[in-house]
């Protein structure tokens, strides 16, 4: 077990929050992890667990104590006929490569978009991908966890501890290994992007197509996030492969379809008709068939999160009191139109971007205040949206987790209503 000095890059994640710690351990074996946890407990200190630090809410940012980083603990092996067992530091990229090599007809279906994220981080946040297949927790057969009592337990779906650890943000123990269930790949896949001059027309389109079983993902990108992405096209060769989007469009709806080729083609025809009825200029639509082609446009959706991170970093250089403000709320609005109207009703006069899983009623509004006064106004808006979600019986955190950022932004009054249960005192 080797405890190293902490560097600036060890205490920040994609929320751009900056923390501090007394030392960091890059564990490579189970024995390293156990010895480190034991050592910290004996010192009566605390541990912040880290994967790849791609989290968006400061969950892996330490507030004192020590850091346990698991990126070097990353072996993968086959489980039964349709599962794999990954050590918690294995990244999504490595898991994907392993599956392609050993199970070419199978896939890990939830597929969150950040491929450098580790499976430990993904399970701790119960992350989800673009598709409608839901959260990672639904595709886990077993998790091996080290508790603060130093006991190692295997937990399975349906058990109380499973529900705490999955989405538990590293507050209940160290996830050592995860057994992931794999699913059969679809015969074919297509992606289509539709463009709209009015964002409400794009939401109307979504409401009309939500029920089709062939459609597995419906995502929104508004004009503000598209503008930020286009300004940074040069940052990635993958983005440069995506056509330039016309300035007059207020929204893009990105759809993924899976199934047999003939069914997908019939579905695509139908979608073009419905989009035209909702005033989309269908001649400008993009169609990509097959996973390799689709990856180009998936990169565009992925870039939405990246450019917001860059923008926040830039803003924080001017005023470090300004924090990342991303409403990751699941309220109870029943249609995409009501959801978009809800945010637009506030006539936000601060720069913002709206994007995300509009097909499953979960879009994020990222507020980008340029001054501290605008930041104060933005926090008020975030609190208003959170209170509205709580009043309706919705959730103030849909997929990013609370981390250390959300309690900081929402404050005691809101957090008291959503406090996490039975969390450990060692893991923070």
Ligand X SMILES: Cc1cc2nc3c(=O)[nH]c(=O)nc-3n(C[C@H](O)[C@H](O)[C@H](O)COP(=O)(O)OP(=O)(O)OC[C@H]3O[C@@H](n4cnc5c(N)ncnc54)[C@H](O)[C@@H]3O)c2cc1C
Using CB under 6 A, list all residues that contact ligand X.
13-14, 49-56, 59-60, 70, 88, 112-114, 117-118, 120-122, 124-125, 127-129, 169-170, 174-175, 302, 305-306, 399
103, 82 contact by CB (below 8 A): yes
Residue 256 φ/ψ, nearest 5 degrees: -115, 140
Which structure tokens are listed for 402? Answer: 């609370």
Q: Which is nearer to ligand X, 305 or 389 (CB)?
A: 305
| Residue at token pair 């007059």 | 248
329, 366 contact by CB (below 8 A): no
Q: Please state the closest distance from residue 400 (CB atom) to ligand X, in A.
A: 6
Whats the size of the chain, residue-wise?
428
Which residues lie below 8 Å from residue 170, measured CB to CB, with a gap of 6+? 48, 49, 59, 60, 124, 427
Q: Which is nearer to ligand X, 55 or 369 (CB)?
A: 55
Q: Which is nearer to ligand X, 174 or 367 (CB)?
A: 174
Instruction: Specify the 3-state DSSP secondary structure of 147.
Output: coil
Q: Which is nearer to ligand X, 39 or 341 (CB)?
A: 39
Q: Please state the closest distance from residue 221 (CB atom) to ligand X, in A.
A: 14
261, 211 contact by CB (below 8 A): no
Find, among 228, 254, 248, 251, the residue nearest to 368 by Cα: 228
Which residues lie below 8 Å from residue 31, measured CB to CB, with a gap of 6+? none
Q: Please state the closest distance from residue 145 (CB atom) to ligand X, in A.
A: 8
| Consecutive H or E run containing 303 | helix 291-318
Instruction: Specify the 3-state DSSP secondary structure of 84.
Output: strand
Determine the angle formed by the axes of helices 372-392 and 405-415, rounding to 10 degrees: 50
Q: Which is nearer to ligand X, 4 or 248 (CB)?
A: 4
Q: Which is nearer to ligand X, 114 or 201 (CB)?
A: 114
Q: Please state the closest distance from residue 25 (CB atom) to ligand X, in A.
A: 13
Q: Please state the closest distance from residue 273 (CB atom) to ligand X, in A.
A: 30
Q: How far apart are CA 176 and CA 41, in angstroms?
A: 18
Q: Which is nearer to ligand X, 65 or 112 (CB)?
A: 112
Q: Which is nearer to ligand X, 126 or 331 (CB)?
A: 126
Q: Which is nearer to ligand X, 126 or 378 (CB)?
A: 126
Q: How far apart are CA 117 and CA 40, in angstroms?
A: 26
| Residue at token pair 């808006």 | 381
Q: Please state the closest distance from residue 415 (CB atom) to ligand X, in A.
A: 16
Find, among 294, 272, 295, 291, the residue nearest to 282 by Cα: 272
Q: Please state the closest distance from residue 259 (CB atom) to ligand X, in A.
A: 23
Count of other CB atoms within 10 angstroms of residue 290: 11
Which structure tokens are listed for 376? Answer: 């104060």
Q: Please state the closest distance from residue 286 (CB atom) to ligand X, in A.
A: 21
Q: Please state the closest distance from residue 85 (CB atom) to ligand X, in A.
A: 14
């Amino acid at each position: 077990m080797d405890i190293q000095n902490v560097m600036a890059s060890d205490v920040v994640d994609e929320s751009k929050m900056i923390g501090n710690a007394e030392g960091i351990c890059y564990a490579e074996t189970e024995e390293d992890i156990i010895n480190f946890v034991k050592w910290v407990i004996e010192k009566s200190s605390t541990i912040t667990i880290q994967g790849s630090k791609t989290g968006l809410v400061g969950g892996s940012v330490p507030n004192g104590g020590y850091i346990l980083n698991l990126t070097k603990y990353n072996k993968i092996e086959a489980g039964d006929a349709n599962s794999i067992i990954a050590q918690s530091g294995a990244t999504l990229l490595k898991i994907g490569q392993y599956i392609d090599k050993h199970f070419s007809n199978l896939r890990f279906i939830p597929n969150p978009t950040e491929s450098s994220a580790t499976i430990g981080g993904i399970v701790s946040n119960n992350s989800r991908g673009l598709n409608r297949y839901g959260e990672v927790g639904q595709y886990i057969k077993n998790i091996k966890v080290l508790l603060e009592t130093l006991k190692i337990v295997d937990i399975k779906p349906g058990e109380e501890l499973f529900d705490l650890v999955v989405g538990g943000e590293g507050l209940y123990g160290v996830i050592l290994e995860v057994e992931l269930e794999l699913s059969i790949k679809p015969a074919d896949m297509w992606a289509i992007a539709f463009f709209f001059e009015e964002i409400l027309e794009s939401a109307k389109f979504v409401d009309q197509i939500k029920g089709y079983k062939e459609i597995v993902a419906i995502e929104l990108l508004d004009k503000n996030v598209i503008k930020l992405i286009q300004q940074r096209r040069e940052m990635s060769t993958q983005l440069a492969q995506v056509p330039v989007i016309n300035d007059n469009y207020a929204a893009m709806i990105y759809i993924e379809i899976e199934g047999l080729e003939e069914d997908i083609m019939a579905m695509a025809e139908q979608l073009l008709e419905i989009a035209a009825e909702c005033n989309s200029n269908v001649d400008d639509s993009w169609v990509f068939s097959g996973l390799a082609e689709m990856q180009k446009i998936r990169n565009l959706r992925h870039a939405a999160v990246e450019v917001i991170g860059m923008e926040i970093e830039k803003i924080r250089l001017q005023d470090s009191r300004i924090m990342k403000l991303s409403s990751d709320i699941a309220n109870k609005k029943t249609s995409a139109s009501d959801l978009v109207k809800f945010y637009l009703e506030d006539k936000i006069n601060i720069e913002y971007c709206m994007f995300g899983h509009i097909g499953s009623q979960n879009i994020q509004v990222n507020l980008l205040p340029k001054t501290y006064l605008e930041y104060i106004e933005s926090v008020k808006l975030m609190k208003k949206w959170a209170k509205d979600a709580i009043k309706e019986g919705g959730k103030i955190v849909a997929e990013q987790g609370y981390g250390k950022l959300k309690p900081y932004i929402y404050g005691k009054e809101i957090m008291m209503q959503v406090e996490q249960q039975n969390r450990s005192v060692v893991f923070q």
